[in-house]
Every structure is written in structure tokens, then in C-alpha cells.
Amino acid sequence: MNITCDPDRDLVQRLTNATTPALGLFALPNKYVPRMFDEKLSFQMNEVSTLQPFFKDLMGLERKVYLSVIRSIRRYVMAMHRLSDDLDLAYALLVASIEALAQEFDGTIPLWEHYDERKRKRIDKALTEASEPVRQDVRDAILSNEHVALKRKFSSFTNHYLSPSFFRNGTEGHPYPAGRSELVLAIKQAYDLRSTYIHTLRPLPKNLVSPHVQSDVISDNGKLLLSFRGLARVARHVIFEFISQSSKIDKEESLHDGLPQFNDHATSIALLDR
């Protein structure tokens, strides 16, 4: 429902009622992601009509998919909480909320054409004298590099689940919603920002942490970057769409289905332990 709701009353008050940002931050969370941290919200009936099918779809997922989705949702919520004290971590967690699903459920195989063009040309030039089998082995070894494969999966998965409704709905009152061509580029940069933070703790660009950014995408040194507002919108939509489009089951097989039945309780417990 895009609101802050938690059993911890103090946490909710800290996120929605704070008057000054935490030490080292430029602004309160509501300056980065609108609505979610508003102190007061008016009830809208259409929000309930959206929530009901969401839970029906969520509970209809196969267990493996359901557990992955729950992990993804938790990362999203954690990211929102971190907006109050650690913007770099919040951004990385938002990316991780999508990545948690992408790495399990995207079957994209990276191709040599997907590799960075500048690096690709240098490698191809160095392999000019090598035989075709050797060239292919080198390319396969490079493409098996974790970062290349994971980034490709993340980008492919995210763009696949950015349905047309993302560009039609939820843009009321939005001053600068992003177009698809902008997002294709910005999504790749979001993964790079996450990687540099995880591996080197490099902080986000100053333009990105500015509380005055109202657009989904900003330009920084010639690169298109997803703002917090834009990344939060993308992550939330992708999670919703993945849940909606995933196959559903009416009934899950019991944990004990297919196991032999015993009248002797002790015997059956001993067998299950084995």
C-alpha cells in the first residue's frame, strides 16, 4: 500500500514524525520517497481493492517462489527503513530486492555481444592470432565472470517485469516520470552502483543523494541514474508484477505426502529422523 506500517511504534514515529535528519544525512526519508513516510494519509477504497488480489496471488505461489518473494519484500522494507540513517545501504538494498528474484528466476544467458564494448574490442584484438576454439574458450571464461552474468540477469529481469502499467499508473502528480529508454540505461547503472558500494564502500554520487531530486532518473557525468524515488517505484512494480505473473497452485502437497504411514508413532518419527 506504499505506507509505513510496523508493530514497532517507535520505529514508525522515527520514520514519519522526525523533524531533523540523522547526522550526516541531508534530509528526512519523505524527501526521497513520497507518500510512504507521510505522517497522515487519507484512506482510499481503491487501495484495499489492490491489496486483496495481491495477497491472493502471493498465497497462491509455489513455496519456493513464495519464500523468494518474501525475502525480496523484506529487503525492500529494510531499504525504506535505512533511508533514515544510511542512504548508500538503502540504495544497495533496493537493488538487492530485485536481484533476489532475478538470480533465481531469470534464465538469461550472457552473450559476447553483451560484454562491455571497449573491453570486448581489446580482447578480440589480442586474440586475433588465436584459433577459433581458443577464442571461444576465452570468451566463455570471461562471460562466466560473476559480475557479467549477474548484471545481465538483473537488467533483463527488471526490464521484463516493467509492464506498460508502470508507465501509465502511479504517475499522477509525478513531475518527471521516466520513459522506458531512460530506464534501460539507468537500471544497468543501478546495479553498478550497488556493486561498487558492496565491494569498495564507495558512496553514492552527490547528485543522487540530493533531497531536491524529484525525477525518476537523473544525469550524473553523462550517466543516467535511478533516483531513490525512481528505484523505489521500479522495485515495487517489479515485485508486484513478478507475483502477479508467476504460476499459482490451488493446494500444496503435504510435507508427509508419499511417506509410508505407521500406526506406531515412535517408528514413524524414527524413520523421518533418518
- Give the model confidence (pLDDT) of 45-95 as tens digits: 777 888 889 999 999 999 999 999 999 999 999 999 999 999 999 999 999
Cell of 244: 502477479
Q: How confident is the model at residue 237 (pLDDT cuts 50, 70, 90)?
A: very high
Q: Decide if pLDDT at 109 tops 70.
A: no
Cβ contact 108:158 at 8 Å: no
SS3 of residue 83 by DSSP: coil
**160: enclosing H helix or E strand:** helix 146-160
More confident residue, 241 or 118: 241
Q: Which residue has the cell 521500479?
A: 234
Cβ contact 92:154 at 8 Å: no
Average pLDDT over every residue of 10-35: 91
SS3 of residue 215 by DSSP: strand
**pLDDT at site 271:** 37
**pLDDT at site 52:** 87
More confident residue, 10 or 262: 10
For the chain, the helix, strand and coil percentages under 3-state DSSP, each to the nearest 5:
60, 5, 40
What angle in degrees, to the nearest 10, is found between the helix axes of 228-245 and 87-105? Answer: 30
- Give the model confidence (pLDDT) of 114-161 as tens digits: 666 777 888 888 888 888 888 888 887 876 665 567 788 899 999 999
More confident residue, 247 or 254: 247
Please tell me whether the overall predicted TM-score, pTM, comes out greater than 0.85 for this model: no
Provide the percentage of residues in the chain whose pLDDT is more than 90: 53
